[in-house]
């Protein structure tokens, strides 16, 4: 085992306690007041120059050392989810209906553990920017920090972030070059017909029949317009219309989630959804409005930075514990906004699988999930080593 992991493990109790404290006090996106206070206080204690207020509750801690001109950004997310925790653990959430079910408490703790180590013993030359962002879960906190001037105020030559991954052996790392997390788009379709008596459909214009045809039609976009080797998903998660057996409603609403792993595929999906809904609605005589509500772009790990991140992973853990080209995921992640502006890489740390069992093997966003504390020194050691290898004086 690497000396660095051993060193960080020896003092990991402080960060396990801190992680559990954050876990007990989960906060939703843009409401991470207690969490960001805690992060800011710790960073300041260890000598970081702390900037608050970016994206509301975002925190940036900066340390400059030596004469090196390189600038590194490491990012963690801080928000929790509106889920009622069911783990029954001693450190379970004390707030009803709120829970750290995605491990962002652990991401914050790993980066703080690295922050302390780097401030006290880090051998690097250059600028280290530690970015603690709010509201990753659907609210685009990364983008909000960028709109508040994140990269103008804290320019970075490369950026890295890590997410825990249940179902993979704990303490292992997995990386991937290229598209890694899906682009997402939320769409609401409203169909307006003419309501009427269920027994006299010829006097009405039925939005339920039109909506049903549209649900089926949408699946042909995936099967007929997108190349079979490209991933794409169109899910109609909600179809709402009517209340009574004998009443044809005026209106029907469809709510869609759209995913893909390629910018061009994503464009095609959105364009075809617009066309198909418009033409299908017209063929049934209903009026359609299609409201594209936005989502996250595809997360693309750049080649040079991913190669570098792999080297660091191999140096720290050896080849047995590193998956060098893992599969892409159909979930989305707002770190994608940051990678659209700065080159970098997003990687995964195994949170436990069937062999270890327990809450760590449970999938994220599940009420029985918990972050694996044994990963804190490993993730922290990875960040510390990556910072030391990246922030070197140019030869």
Residues in touch with Zn ion (CB under 5 A)? 102
**Which CB, 82 or 358, lies closer to Zn ion?**
82
Q: Specify whether the CB–CB gap between 265 and 184 falls below 8 A.
A: no
Alpha carbon 336 to chain centroid, angstroms: 8
Query: 278, 218 in Cβ contact below 8 A?
Result: no
Of the pair 4, 102, the CB lying nearest Zn ion is at 102
Give min distance, CB of 216 to Zn ion, in A.
31
Q: Are 352 and 169 spatial neighbours (Cβ–Cβ below 8 Å)?
A: yes
Instruction: Choose between 284 and 346: whose C-beta lies nearer to Zn ion.
Output: 346
Q: What share of the chain is helix, strand, coil (3-state, %, to 5)?
A: 40, 25, 35
Burial 214-251 (b: 16+ CB within 10 A, else e): beeebeebbeebbeeeebbebebeebebbeeeeebbbb
Locate 21 and state its tokens.
């404290």
CB of 138 to Zn ion, least distance (A): 8
Residue 59 CB, shortest distance to Zn ion, in Å, is 18
Element (H, E) at 178: strand 178-181
Measured CA to CA, the distance from residue 140 to residue 137 in angstroms comes to 7
- Return the number of the residue (131 or 281) whose C-beta is nearest Zn ion: 131
d(CA 119, CA 124): 10
Q: Which is nearer to Zn ion, 99 or 277 (CB)?
A: 99
Strand pairing category for 232-241 and 183-192: unpaired
Q: The dihedral of CA 149, 181, 28, 130: what is its sign?
A: negative
Q: Which is nearer to Zn ion, 102 or 189 (CB)?
A: 102
Instruction: Select the residue whose beta carbon is closest to Zn ion and give its number.
Output: 102
Q: How far is CA 15 from CA 6, 345, 387, in A?
A: 15, 25, 19
Distance CA 390, CA 378 (A): 18
CB closer to Zn ion, 48 vs 348: 348
Query: Smallest gap, in angstroms, from Cβ of residue 365 to Zn ion?
Result: 6
Least distance to Zn ion, CB of residue 61, Å? 21
Number of alpha carbons in the 13 Å side-chain half-sphere of residue 293: 11
Best CA proximity match to 73, nearest among 162, 147, 138: 162
Q: Which has the closest alpha carbon to 329: 304, 356, 305, 348?
A: 348
> The dihedral of CA 305, 309, 310, 315: what is its sign?
positive
Give the nearest distance from C-beta 81 to Zn ion in angstroms. 7
Residue 74: which residues within 8 A CB-CB, separation 6 or more?
A: 111, 114, 128, 129, 130, 131, 159, 160, 161, 383, 386, 387
| CA 262 – CA 299 distance, rounded (Å) | 9
């Amino acid at each position: 085992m690497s000396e660095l992991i051993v060193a960080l493990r020896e003092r990991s109790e402080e960060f396990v306690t801190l992680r559990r404290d954050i876990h007990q006090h989960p906060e939703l996106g843009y409401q991470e007041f207690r969490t960001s206070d805690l992060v800011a206080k710790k960073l300041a204690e260890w000598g970081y120059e702390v900037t608050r207020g970016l994206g509301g509750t975002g925190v940036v801690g900066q340390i400059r050392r030596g004469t090196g001109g390189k600038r590194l950004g490491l990012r963690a997310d801080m928000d929790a989810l509106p889920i009622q925790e069911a783990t029954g653990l001693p450190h379970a959430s004390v707030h009803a209906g709120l829970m750290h079910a995605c491990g962002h408490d652990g991401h914050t703790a790993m980066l703080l553990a690295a922050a302390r180590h780097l401030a006290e013993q880090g051998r690097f030359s250059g600028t280290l920017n530690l970015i603690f962002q709010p509201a990753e879960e659907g609210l685009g906190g990364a983008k909000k920090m960028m709109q508040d001037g994140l990269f103008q105020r804290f320019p970075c030559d490369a950026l890295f972030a890590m997410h825990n991954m249940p179902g993979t052996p704990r303490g292992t790392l997995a990386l991937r070059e290229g598209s890694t997390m899906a682009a997402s788009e939320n769409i609401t379709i409203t169909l307006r017909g003419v309501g009427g008596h269920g027994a006299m459909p010829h006097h009405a214009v039925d939005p339920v029949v039109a909506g049903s045809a549209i649900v089926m039609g949408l699946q042909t976009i995936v099967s007929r317009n997108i190349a079979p080797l490209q991933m794409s998903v169109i899910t109609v998660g909600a179809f709402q219309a009517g209340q009574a057996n004998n009443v044809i409603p005026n209106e029907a609403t469809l709510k869609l989630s759209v995913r893909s792993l390629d910018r061009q595929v994503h464009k095609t999906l959105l364009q075809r959804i617009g066309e198909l809904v418009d033409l299908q609605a017209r063929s049934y005589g209903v009026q359609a409005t299609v409201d594209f509500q936005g989502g996250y772009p595809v997360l693309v790990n750049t080649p040079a930075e991913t190669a570098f991140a792999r080297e660091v992973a191999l140096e720290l853990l050896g080849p047995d514990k590193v998956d060098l080209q893992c599969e892409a995921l159909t979930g989305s992640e707002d770190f994608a906004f940051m990678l659209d502006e700065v080159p970098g890489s997003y990687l995964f740390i195994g949170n436990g699988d069937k062999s270890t069992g327990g809450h760590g093997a449970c999938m994220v966003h599940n009420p029985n999930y918990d972050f694996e504390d044994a990963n804190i020194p490993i993730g922290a050691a990875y960040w510390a080593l990556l910072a030391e290898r990246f922030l070197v004086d140019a030869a």
